[in-house]
């Protein structure tokens, strides 16, 4: 008797993210900068997929940004996250990254994170 296993249906964003991830992978030389946003918060991680390790991360919930995020709007908070993740990447000797928008449109807060990371010195 076959097991009655149901797979969860992926949302359109999750389908886009999977399609992007098939083509994109972070290496030791160029790790992957991935961004996730919820309605309230935004998260950014720099991941080395060969080791399966997170090299740097930042979010609107990071201790370093807690006070500044409360005063900023969502796009302003996204810029702060992009700047912080770039600074942490520099500290981890990462200068070049591959940008993974995680199925989100490259617009608004996602673009703000990318632009702020570029301004802080990361190369895409």
Q: CA separation (Å) from 20 to 62, 105, 118?
A: 27, 12, 21
Domains of the chain, earliest start first = 12-119 (3.30.420.100)
User: Which of 53, 41, 45, 49 is CA-nearest to residue 88?
Assistant: 45
Q: CA separation (Å) from 13 to 70, 94, 101?
A: 28, 28, 10
Per-residue pLDDT of the chain (124 residues; tens, 9 = 90+): 456 677 889 999 999 999 999 999 988 899 999 999 999 999 999 999 999 999 999 999 999 998 898 888 999 999 999 999 999 999 999 999 999 999 999 999 999 999 999 999 999 9
Give the span between the Cα atoms of 84 and 33, in whole angstroms.
13
Q: Give the pLDDT confidence score for residue 3 in this predicted structure.
A: 62
At residue 41, the 3 state secondary structure works out as coil
């Amino acid at each position: 008797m076959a097991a009655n296993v149901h797979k969860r249906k992926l949302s359109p964003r999750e389908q886009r993210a999977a399609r992007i991830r098939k083509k994109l992978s972070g290496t030791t030389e160029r790790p992957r900068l991935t961004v996730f946003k919820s309605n309230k918060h935004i998260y950014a991680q720099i991941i080395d997929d060969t080791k399966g390790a997170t090299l740097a991360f930042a979010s609107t919930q990071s201790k370093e940004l807690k006070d500044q995020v409360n005063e900023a709007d969502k796009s302003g908070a996204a810029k702060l996250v992009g700047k912080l993740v770039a600074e942490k990447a520099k500290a981890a000797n990462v200068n070049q990254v591959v940008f993974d928008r995680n199925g989100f449109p490259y617009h608004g807060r996602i673009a703000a994170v990318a632009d702020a990371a570029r301004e802080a010195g990361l190369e895409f």
